[in-house]
Structure 1
């Protein structure tokens, strides 16, 4: 009887893992359908470069407000799965409205509405996956890499669909992927891994900013993750500037994003060998060097041939950054901390990098935009160096709670 129960439990865990992997595959398929190719839609309705910059720079700031709010709702009511289901469905439905509009004002309003819901997808998904990884003693990167697979496939396949049927294919692919992700999400059980939420919104934020390692990591995320997100918007124009084709953009993103999956897998080995902090520092350094190299206008052949740089930089960073947040914040505030981390990178960092990057492009050229990305990433290395070699070492979970509540001082 015990062997049968053990076998049944093992089968259930296996099914849950498959559903979680499939969820990440389709959730990020939606991202891959949208962001690498959205400039093709902007071009089709004749938006100016300034208008594209405004949309890309201003709307991510919505996440600065909405991501922490979604996280706090999840912490307070323990309804992460329900929140994720709602936000996926709503974002996908709004996406279907884009082909019906053709003016800057309507695109801007729809993008804001979509961002309100889309901003919850990454932090809440990562919270569920990190909880699963902790319960079953698996690496978060082994789960998150399926998102990279989905993103890579979407960039390539949706690119082919755009060539065949036009930019509207972007939004049909985006919505369809989110709906399929919801179907797999329904089969994933939700477990409450965090302690009950017992503090107010402002008190929770006050507790988190008392943690120097967390605040330093937010500063690094602002620069490093901000430039990574901005690159997804501007690469299409950059690649064509250095002699590439629109078709080549889809191939590049297929290889770039595809390289993330194996490096997310390898990231676990790096963490075990060198530690979490050095792994993050290594990936961030590679990212900075990549943007500086791009600013020299290398041949497109070399950009494609060295596609794996994306995996070594972005893949390793994504696989380890959320883990760093979880290990350096109190258990009772981890969903909120993940939401703030994502809002800084996806929101404030992306807004700043897109806004300045667009202005630099109009004033100089897209090459100088990538030079700016490189210098900004170098600035992001400074807080990471302080985390690794500075006075604030990693604290235990109990000490984190005491530091956050003010019972201990740094």
Structure 2
């Protein structure tokens, strides 16, 4: 079992290092091609939208084929090819086509990785936080390392790094056990019925969680994006923007390592209440911040907001998901609260910032967070004390 945990930790480090090689530098690359900000916004929105479609399709595909590993490997190969072509293309039409393909596969493999952990042995599942922490570390190190390589050698080196990382990841995956099969208590020959899928979509507890996390992740994306803009507006340097990102990223790691302990000491619903209130407080503080140093310091609020929200979202969805639809339940949830919320947040927040100003936009997002906080209180009072967790029949 211990070896399996180490395998997942190693896999997550390499995987997020690989993903960051593209995701952290996609926008700077588009900027280097002198593409307008409006067009870049449209291109990124297309990538997110394609990712939403990918997660819906992939979740269903994994459950009916009863495998995560095989689909993960195939998707990574196709993703690697798409990224390699992307960083060699300067034609806007090709870029739009490739970014859509990348969005489809990238969002899918990121969600599949989490589902793989949650559908593995109890030891692996209980250590999701520590596994995810290695992913954050891989992302942070990649952002620094790849950035320096690009400065010295140019953009052409980026897709080479991506290919090398994908090959290393492939050999890491070969000896890892698939999460699907008879060991999870599901007969792979038993088909998934439309009734079972319908029950998932009409499960009130599932829908309430989607609404809560949609609001929370929308706020997280808004505060992450506009904190950087505020730093620029205050005359901050690129180094200060990078420092903010560094503080935010590495603040996530301690809580993720302590995720297992937090689950033992507190109910997931209690952590949801705490993190939603903390995010509300963070939105207001950022809205009224008056200097760059304070904005950078507020990046450390990731420790009580994103890092808690990201792991409790997985466990809360998992505990109410039917055995036959575990992957699909997680993939649909991520498509809604990370994909659709991303589109919602970038479009609405951008428009509101232009119309009523960044400060008032952040206050508005804070109000939405407070609404999520109230829904979290309702969720805790209605489901947990009465032990009404709704496990759908599979």
**TM-score scaled to structure 1, two decimals?**
0.84
Q: Does 1:290 align with 2:278?
A: no
Deviation at 1:103, TM superposition (A): 4.7
Q: Figure out how many residues of one structure are paired with residues of the other and give that number.
A: 389
Matching residue of 1:305:
297
Q: 1:54 aligns with which of 37, 42, 61?
A: 42
Relative distance call for 1:345 and 1:41 in structure 2 (3 A) is same
Matching residue of 1:126:
114
Structure 1 regions of 5+ residues with no counterpart? 1-12, 406-410
Q: Is the 8 A contact 1:353 1:373 kept in 2?
A: no
Separation (CA, whole Å) in 1 of partners of 2:185 and 2:343 = 31
Q: 1:147 aligns with which of 135, 145, 149?
A: 135
Separation (CA, whole Å) in 2 of partners of 1:233 and 1:306 = 13
Q: CA offsets per residue over residues 22-71 of structure 1, 9 Å max, x none?
A: 11112112333344443322322222232232223343122332212211
Q: 1:267 aligns with which of 230, 242, 259?
A: 259
Q: 1:207 aligns with which of 188, 192, 199?
A: 199
Matching residue of 1:251:
243
Decide which moves more: 139-148 or 25-34: 25-34
Q: Does 1:30 align with 2:22?
A: no
Separation (CA, whole Å) in 1 of partners of 2:359 and 2:160 = 33
Relative distance call for 1:98 and 1:250 in structure 2 (3 A) is farther
Q: Is the 8 A contact 1:29 1:153 kept in 2?
A: yes
Separation (CA, whole Å) in 2 of partners of 1:286 and 1:321 = 16
Decide which moves more: 342-351 or 236-245: 236-245
Q: CA offsets per residue over residues 102-146 of structure 1, 9 Å max, x none?
A: 354433222111111112212221122123351567432122211
Q: Does 1:113 align with 2:101?
A: yes
Q: Is the 8 A contact 1:141 1:265 kept in 2?
A: yes
Separation (CA, whole Å) in 1 of partners of 2:265 and 2:153 = 48
Q: 1:314 aligns with which of 285, 288, 306?
A: 306
Q: Is the 8 A contact 1:64 1:344 kept in 2?
A: yes
Structure 2 regions of 5+ residues with no counterpart? none
Matches within 5 A, 1:158-237: 158-166=146-154, 171-192=159-180, 193=184, 195-196=186-187, 198=190, 200=192, 202-229=194-221, 236-237=228-229
Matches within 5 A, 1:386-401: 386-390=378-382, 393-395=386-388, 400-401=391-392
Say which SS state the counterpart of residue 177 (structure 2) adopts. coil
Relative distance call for 1:36 and 1:235 in structure 2 (3 A) is farther
Matching residue of 1:99:
87
Relative distance call for 1:233 and 1:54 in structure 2 (3 A) is farther
Separation (CA, whole Å) in 2 of partners of 1:30 and 1:277 = 33
Decide which moves more: 180-189 or 332-341: 180-189
Separation (CA, whole Å) in 2 of partners of 1:234 and 1:162 = 26
Q: Is the 8 A contact 1:36 1:253 kept in 2?
A: no
Say which SS state the counterpart of residue 281 (structure 2) adopts. helix
Relative distance call for 1:391 and 1:320 in structure 2 (3 A) is closer
Separation (CA, whole Å) in 2 of partners of 1:171 and 1:249 = 25
Relative distance call for 1:129 and 1:155 in structure 2 (3 A) is same
Q: Is the 8 A contact 2:130 2:259 kept in 1?
A: no
Aligned-pair RMSD on alpha carbons?
Answer: 2.7
